[in-house]
Structure 1
Amino acid sequence: MTRSTTRGAPTVAARLLHWFDQHGRKDLPWQSGDADGRDAYRVWLSEIMLQQTQVATVIGYFQRFTEALPTLRDLAAADEDTVLALWSGLGYYRRARFLHRAAQICVQQHGGELPRDFVALSALPGIGRSTAGAILAQAHGLRFAILDGNVKRVLTRYHGIHGHPGQSAVEKLLWLHADSHTPTARLADYTQAIMDLGATLCVRSRPRCDACPLASDCIAYRDNLTVELPSRKPSKALPTRATVMLVLRDRDGRVLLERRGPQGVWSGLWSLPEAASTDDAWRLAQRHARIDDAQALAPFTHVFSHYRLAIEPLLFDRTTAHAAIADNPDLRWCSATELAALGLPAPVRTLLQNTA
């Protein structure tokens, strides 16, 4: 069920742009340049960081990242540890690896720039249809629709669309609406406006419909459906997995880290060695150091999108490291200074800070 704008009323784009001129966010660090000529690298980086992460959190990470790697070529030339260290704490580390690989492809195949062609841009790792549209609209003023989570929520409510937005048929309908509302001018401002509306007014809980420029013909507002729309994804109970994390610390205060493999969560990041049980943890610890005792630290749970990880940390303090690990490039003893320069999973970094 959909409903069009009242005859003679301003279009959705016109109302959003009018609202944006008065209330939109215009001082975000990736908005440098004029409305139709923003830096494509900074727009791209912000779009990737904003996936699954709110603006308030992203700003600090964005500024730190661009200070260290101010251009696409700088990103392409950086080693993976540097990129992951700059990303550390944002989570969803696959985004960072895709970002890094896409930059390298741009240097190899596109003259060190993000391509302006939609097909070529959306073919890069980590850049789908919506992200490509957002980059081209904001950096070059080209007419491409976007459909991120905020936009899906706005359009779902405005048009009264039932069904989870992730379902193929629902998403296809939302893309049609997204394209129909996209104007032919002020593309950068419109793209920011519809994202801002979803992020600041048309939020998931307790939307501020009284301040919304689209409320006059929003079906969800008219029919009191803002709680029901968007329809939630059918819930499934998350399974729980258990692991023992080894905090092996030598007499110099260095901690043993292990680089995770290319598959699974935290792939490619430096993390703590893990074992399936306390007995296995002792045996593993003895392979890497001479140990006398262990201290059980407070257990905690880290929640991923598809499972919960119950973590039991075990501290082996003031150990004497075996020299053998020098032959293993995926194991290293790290000082506090070295830890700060590595990409560590957020819960691992927190655990180490709490046991320092």
Structure 2
Amino acid sequence: MRDQTPFSDARSADLLHWYDRHARTMPWRISPADRKDGVKPDPYRVWMSEVMLQQTTVAAVKAYFLRFTERWPTVSALAGARDEDVMAEWAGLGYYARARNLLKCARVVHQEHGGVFPENHDALLALPGIGPYTAAAISSIAFDLPETVLDGNVERVMARLFDHHAPLPAAKSALKDYAASLTPQERPGDYAQAVMDLGATICTPKSPACVLCPWRDPCQARRNGTAAELPKKTPKTPKPTRHGIAYLARSAAGEWLLERRPEKGLLGGMLGWPGSDWSDTPTPAPPFHAQWRDLGAEVRHTFTHFHLYLRVEVADLPQGYNPQVGQLIIGKNDFKSNDLPTVMRKAYELWVEKEALG
């Protein structure tokens, strides 16, 4: 049970003192000084950043976050957006189920909560796409509630601070208990961001800068010389490799044949090239009968659970072609390769490269 005094542990106060001087500047963050002056975080921006940051780096997210919040500055504005516009803006950020859940969540908040995110942790958990980590992060950062936020940076910091050698993911429960024991009642939102900043900038996976760390003295792993080997992780099973075929067809007028992928599954709801299944031995499935030409090179892309080798075949799109269900013909001036998910854009770039070589 967590001690209810504001700073039951001097380590919490030391970390906040460090954060006041070294907090990272981010477009979704309220600085410690502004927060002290009474400026409150926008829960919409906190939620948006946390969804985008799942399995993605801060550097990759910043531009996406700024574009999204400029185009849709409130959760109600996002709730009214067209699905295809949101998916196009998300293209390249990966893990596309996040984008689908982003829209679902925005619409629930708009329709059932009057466009205001609930401050209750359990109510946040009930929203589409919000799991325990995101609910805790919003509760803590946006509403300054003493919830325990546990991401990869915090796990690493806790494993080293307490010299905990049980491997992840089994160690998550113990590491969360450690993190909870340090979460203060005073400034819990700043504290949560402070621990994440500490892991991102000081207590890094390799070569941690222990001499600069505000927790260098109480850190048990530093004293025991084990920091570099923590946190321990259970070895991952090697990813399998799947194969597939992408079919790129363009008309003489520069029109492209694309398809909208099914809502469920990988790249759900995204625009992409017609193609085969992705398997050990894919079954060819050209979108129409033609003399398809193999570009003689493969696109290689890695998803969470497998590697994909995608063969690219090209053909001329017949004049007056009637698109089938799920297919779209995109005019030359309307086609934007950046609206495609990364693996599909790689196929297009391969075509561009081969065209340039003649």
**Category of TM-score, reference length = shorter chain:** 0.7 to 0.9
Q: Where does 1:140-219 land on structure 2 (aligned, <5 Å)?
A: 140-167=143-170, 170-219=171-220
Matches of 2:94 and 2:101, distance apart in 1: 13
Deviation at 1:321, TM superposition (A): 4.5
| 1:246 equivalenced with 2:247 (yes/no) | yes
Q: Do the aligned residues in 2 keep the contact of 1:154 with 1:198 (CA within 8 Å)?
A: yes
Query: 1:221 corresponds to which residue?
Result: 222
Equivalent residue for 1:6?
none
Structure 1 337/157 Cα, relative in aligned 2: closer, same or farther at 3 Å?
Answer: farther
> Is the partner of 2:250 in helix, strand or coil?
strand
Q: Deviations over 1:174-203 (max 9, x none)?
A: 222111111112223212111111111112
Partner of 2:355: none
Where 1:299 maps in the other structure, the secondary structure is strand
The answer (yes or no) to whether the contact 1:292–1:319 under 8 Å persists in 2 is no
TM alignment of 1:1-356, pairs within 5 A: 11-25=10-24, 27-32=25-30, 34-35=34-35, 37-167=40-170, 170-275=171-276, 281=284, 284-287=286-289, 291-292=290-291, 294-316=293-315, 318-321=316-319, 323-325=321-323, 328=325, 330-340=326-336, 343-356=339-352
**Cα distance in structure 2, aligned partners of 1:131 and 1:204:** 23
- Aligned residue for 1:215, secondary structure, equals coil
1:351 is displaced (CA, Å) by 2.7
SS in 1 for 2:229: coil
Counterparts of 1:213 and 1:337, CA distance in 2: 55
Cα deviation digits, residues 16-48 of structure 1 (max 9, x gap)? 1111122111x3111258426110000110111
Matched letter for residue 16 of structure 2: L
Matched AA of 1:111: G
Q: Classify 1:176/1:354 alpha carbon distance in 2 versus 1 (closer, same or farther; 3 Å).
A: same
Question: 1:37·1:141 contact (CA, 8 Å) conserved in 2?
Answer: no
- Contact 1:81–1:343 (8 Å) recurs in 2: no
TM-score normalized by the length of structure 1: 0.88
The answer to whether the 8 Å contact 1:248/1:285 transfers is: no
CA contact (8 A) 1:82 1:342 kept: no
- Select between 187-196 and 60-69 the one with higher mean Cα deviation: 187-196
Q: Which runs of 5+ in 2 are unaligned?
A: 1-7, 353-358
Aligned residues: 338
Q: Distance in 1 between matches of 2:241 and 2:256?
A: 27
* Displacement after TM superposition at 1:350 (Å): 3.2
CA distance in 2, matches of 1:50, 1:279: 33
SS at 2:127's partner residue?
Answer: coil
CA distance in 2 between counterparts of 1:43 and 1:53 reads: 15
Gaps of 5+ in 1: 1-8
Q: Secondary structure at the match of 1:323?
A: coil
Q: CA deviation at 1:105?
A: 0.8
Q: Deviations over 1:99-143 (max 9, x none)?
A: 110111111211111111110001112212221121122222222
Aligned-pair CA distance for 1:226 = 2.3
Deviations 1:218-238 (A, max 9, x none): 122222222321112322121
Secondary structure in 1 aligned to 2:12?
A: helix
Q: Could you say what secondary structure the match of 2:48 adopts?
A: helix
